[in-house]
Amino acid sequence: MHLLIPAAGTGRRMGSHRNKLLLALRSQPILSWTLKAAEASHHISWIGIISQPIDWEDFKEILAQVQLTKPVEFIQGGSTRQESVYNGLQALPDDATRVLIHDGARCLATADLFDRCAEVLHDCTGLIAAVPVKDTIKVVDENGIITSTPDRRQLWAAQTPQGFDVKLLKQCHQTGISQGWEVTDDAALFEKCGLSVKIVEGEETNLKVTTPQDLAIAEFILTSRLGKK
């Protein structure tokens, strides 16, 4: 299974002027935790890190520290996540038929989640990891007035990994470019093209580290998971 890791974001909401994946989490860069899970996965055999060249030297140092045994390729990122994933798809090896896409900032995803997604992807063409929504969700208009309350039994919070048939996802990206679609994840492109996307139950701890508060929560989760060591 091939894995693409979008890692071209900045640390603006984190209050940092560098790539947030270089920030320390339990004395190790955030990206290193994502890579460790990918390394421990039984199904992932190739990793593409989509990022800006300015970060490549730092990322190479992280790779040396993690001591990955799986091949890694650096891929030029775009100005948006959508553009970055498009670039990543073009850089996949010719034999890639299925791909998992996982945000580098979701550094608490486990190898087990990668493997469960990889196994399900053998029998479908599109999937996302997601968890059931616990809170009651309100739809609000531009004046701050509630217009509806969706049934939360039908609501799931999307995570990554997301997985797809490579050929179909490439076609969806080309359609998105021609139609001028702007989406926040690849599942939305699949949906817009009328293709089915399956849910794989994710992990409650699989949060996306975006703010300093997220970083503190991630630190707590890792300490609970790994102990004081």
The predicted-structure confidence for 52-110, as pLDDT tens digits, reads as follows: 999 999 999 999 999 899 999 999 999 899 999 999 999 999 999 999 999 999 999 99
User: Average pLDDT for residues 200-227, to the nearest whole number?
Assistant: 93
**122 three-state secondary structure:** coil
Q: The tokens of 71 are what?
A: 């091949």
Q: Please give the DSSP secondary-structure letter assigned to residue 158.
A: E
With CA atoms as reference, report the closest residue to 159 among 216, 105, 87. Answer: 105
- Give, for 138, the enclosing helix (H) or strand (E): none
> Is the pLDDT reported for residue 208 higher than 80?
yes
* Alpha-carbon span 62 to 195, nearest angstrom: 37
> Is the pLDDT reported for residue 13 higher than 60?
no
Beta-strand pair 126-132/46-51: unpaired
